[in-house]
Structure 1
Amino acid sequence: MTQTISRLPQLGDWEDLDQLADVQDAQLRQTLTWAARSPFYRARFAQAAAPADRDDLSSLPLTTKQDLRDNYPFGMLAVDRERLATYHESSGTAGSPTPSYYTEQDWIDLAERYARKWVGISAADTFLVRTPYALMITGHLAHAAARLRGATVVPGDNRSLAMPYSRVIRVLHDLGVTLTWSMPTETLLWAAAAKAAGWDPAVDFPALRALFVGGEPLSAARRRRISEIWGVPVVEEYGSTETGSLAGECPEGRLHLWADRALFEVYDPDTGKVTRDGAGQLVVTPLFREAMPLLRYNLEDDVEVSYDDCPCGWKLPTARVLGRAAFGYPVAGQKVTQNRIEELVFGLPAAHGVMFWRARADAGLLRIQMEVRGDARAAACAELTRAVGDAYGIPCEVTALDEGTLVPHRALTAVHDVVKPRSLFGADEDWDKALLYY
């Protein structure tokens, strides 16, 4: 039986956290009904009474990524196959597929959540989607949200032979792209490609008004640098293929969890304790997910959740997403993390021109290499060495590299020969390309 969503909750429907809880509880009953149709949860409920409300839900064990893998492909399915609109798999590297699927009705909720940007999306926008369209949800999600708001979508994909960086820059410039969606690192690669083409990112793309980013941890310092380079706001988004958008940024620059569309908990893997806020791993129960209900799904992302008031007035919890930022390596007795090193690297003066860097954590020495403008090499190395010493008190070796060492110039300027497969070639043609798309 199809359950049609007549109206999804909208920002402003509640005045305080108590009313927000009422919004959640009103939909939770339907969510639990959907879950009972899933073979996975039907088996889990057979071991104990099926939950009827929030209190019952809290007694259920967490759903894990391994549960999804173990029930690949359709062991989590709660609707008839005929009702599915899309099938996806996450970008994880565990080796086993992590399936996810949605109905057309599910997609209404997905698109609306992503479209909740303080920099609004409208029919006047040209929106470049520069994330994968393959099995992951990310490209499809931004595409659907932009079309929901009437924008013109440019499906740029990511790491595609058909869309090299030279073409990305041409599209950004010639089409007057106003909004983009990508990982933060992509925006730095575009800036380098723009400069390689003789353009100034802050001047020669006047239509651009915001960069939407997600998919990797982003330090405050790198975010500021990206915004300075392009001269527009950088708006962060957080979510997953298994859940869609889970949090978006408010006008005050804080990341808010969409708690009217999902229940959130914080799990401490060291103690096993689950709380509504604090630091730990984010646990999610989507409330408008019919095809594949997830109850207390542990994303395994490290977060800090707070219910303190935000000046934006949205009355939603805020989150600081650490992700891989909490992961680090020991150097001389100190835990060194990518997020903290990134803060130090992008804390260098913008005039040094540093955009690309890498580091290796040896047992007693941190080695950092970064591309630096020729006249700034000595100063940049000295400043970063001093900053690492102040932050960690560990030995550090900083090396300045020529621009184009870590990101080769040819990667920014190449135009690939993308052709359709063929089998007949002329005498002076390379027939080793037979049947290939490259």
Structure 2
Amino acid sequence: MRLPQIGDWNDFAGLARLQQDRLPAVLAAAERSPFYRKRGVAPLPQQPLTTKQDLRDAYPFGMLATARADLATYHESSGSSGDATASYYTEADWTDLAERFARKWVGITAADTMMVRTPYALMITGHLAHAAARRHGATVVPADNRSLATPYSRVVRLLHDLDVTLTWSLPTDTLLWAAAARVAGYRDFPALRALFVGGEPLGAARKARIGRVWGVPVVQEYGATETGSLAGECRHGTMHLWADRAVFEVQDPATGELTPAGRGRLVVTPLFREAMPLLRYAIEDEVEVSYAACPCGWHLPTVRVLGRTDFAAGDLSQLGLEELVFGLPDEYGVWFWRARADGDRLRVQIEVADRWRTDAAGALTAAIRGAYPDIDAHVAPVPAGGLVPFGLLTARAEVMKPRGLFAAGEDWDTALRYY
């Protein structure tokens, strides 16, 4: 089956027709799933939401709509918001997954060497980038960020020595690499041409700062283990939802009303999912969706991923606070920060060189109080290494396989260790 490609429709009305033409097949596929057979399948406007708890209750294969023999991979989410959820994909599902991830405006080619620095294991993120890169002929460096075998010191060596051209990681990771490279004495990475990032909210100020630090474009991606890639950037820096591959709705958390656009919690109905159809899946991320025109001409809705907004004193989110931190002048060198909310009091720490301690703390305090006058903000500067220890940037982990025979003087307490 040919999957839709950007350019197959000429306006938002054409995009809506594409979605409506595909929905009957989606509903029919859902009826083959034990979960939806029991719940019942209705036209999408009448279909109740599918929640993360529904996926947990259906563990492991209650959502399966194909034979087990047709599965290509099984995955579980990180479980950061509760018990993990199971997801599974057929080979045809993987074609869809890899195509969506590869919709990067900078492109992925056979000439590229791409470092994948997100988890492999049960989460989909590392496997997704790996599959997309290989389908385009690129060389993959599988530098899983959950493995002790690739500490930051090794990452920057590989980036430099292998002439890595593309990377895939959390945005925060790129700043940790830059700090590790600075400590290790690496001055430039001339082969690098773009940083692909996702997995956490990324504001314009931090994105711009990362781009200036590395001197290359930063290309953002948004998705989840249960769905794969849901949105990516056009060359104008706008995040677009892949609405030719899924129907997107926004739920007002106060009223429960679902609308095509606006601010609220994202709801997703994948259009080309064989193994695990999802109808109105509530992904629980707060977003802002718009159908405003974009110069790219893709005719896809735009999205801002806002992150959590549950601070008691008002509409303060991680993304909003991040924008203020990375709005500080570059010369202050503030890359790392953390904050803790307690009622209407906000305690913030920033890592900053001694010469800029007073200026940086004062500027950030004023910025927070100006943007959020009801919040009592207190900013404390900490010295370099105070939030990200130098040892983390320079460590070389001891990696060994299990062994049984040791020589005199060797530490046999490591016999059963495996990292």
The question of a shared fold, defined as TM-score above 0.5 by the shorter chain, is answered with yes
CA RMSD of aligned residues (A): 1.4
Q: Does 1:413 align with 2:394?
A: yes
Match of 2:37 among 39, 42, 45: 42
Match of 1:384 among 351, 364, 369: 364
Shift of 1:417: 1.2
The equivalent residue for 1:181 is 168
Q: AA paired with 1:151?
A: A
Structure 2 segments unaligned to the other structure (5+ residues): none
Q: AA paired with 1:426?
A: A
Q: Does 1:429 align with 2:413?
A: no
CA deviation string 1:235-259 (max 9, x = no partner): 1101111111011101111111111
- Check whether the contact 1:261–1:288 (CA below 8 A) recurs between aligned residues: yes
The equivalent residue for 1:106 is 93
Shift of 1:131: 0.3
1: CA distance between counterparts of 2:318 and 2:166? 28
Q: Does 1:82 align with 2:69?
A: yes
CA deviation string 1:299-346 (max 9, x = no partner): 11111111111110001111111122x23243xxx5543222211111
- Check whether the contact 1:328–1:338 (CA below 8 A) recurs between aligned residues: no
Q: Does 1:171 align with 2:164?
A: no
- Check whether the contact 1:129–1:154 (CA below 8 A) recurs between aligned residues: yes
| Partner SS for 1:328 | coil
Match of 2:291 among 285, 303, 307: 307
The equivalent residue for 1:328 is 311
Following TM superposition, the consecutive aligned residue runs of length 4 or more in structure 1 with deviations greater than 4 angstroms are: none
Shift of 1:364: 5.3
Match of 1:264 among 238, 248, 262: 248
The equivalent residue for 2:377 is 396
- Check whether the contact 2:307–2:318 (CA below 8 A) recurs between aligned residues: no
2: CA distance between counterparts of 1:405 and 1:228? 23
Indicate how the Cα distance of structure 1 residues 266 and 337 shifts in structure 2: closer, same or farther if over 3 A, else same.
Answer: closer
Mapping for residues 181-220 of structure 1, pairs under 5 Å: 181-200=168-187, 204-220=188-204
1: CA distance between counterparts of 2:154 and 2:258? 48
1: CA distance between counterparts of 2:156 and 2:312? 36
Q: AA paired with 1:134?
A: A
Indicate how the Cα distance of structure 1 residues 277 and 95 shifts in structure 2: closer, same or farther if over 3 A, else same.
Answer: closer
TM-score (norm 1): 0.93
1: CA distance between counterparts of 2:328 and 2:391? 27
Shift of 1:211: 0.7
2: CA distance between counterparts of 1:265 and 1:283? 5
- Check whether the contact 2:115–2:167 (CA below 8 A) recurs between aligned residues: yes
Shift of 1:281: 1.0
Shift of 1:114: 0.5
Q: AA paired with 1:432?
A: D
Shift of 1:173: 0.3
1: CA distance between counterparts of 2:44 and 2:371? 43
- Check whether the contact 1:126–1:153 (CA below 8 A) recurs between aligned residues: yes
Percent of aligned positions with the same letter in both sequences? 67
1: CA distance between counterparts of 2:49 and 2:262? 18
Indicate how the Cα distance of structure 1 residues 76 and 365 shifts in structure 2: closer, same or farther if over 3 A, else same.
Answer: closer
Structure 1 segments unaligned to the other structure (5+ residues): none
Shift of 1:379: 1.5
Indicate how the Cα distance of structure 1 residues 337 and 94 shifts in structure 2: closer, same or farther if over 3 A, else same.
Answer: closer
Q: AA paired with 2:33?
A: S
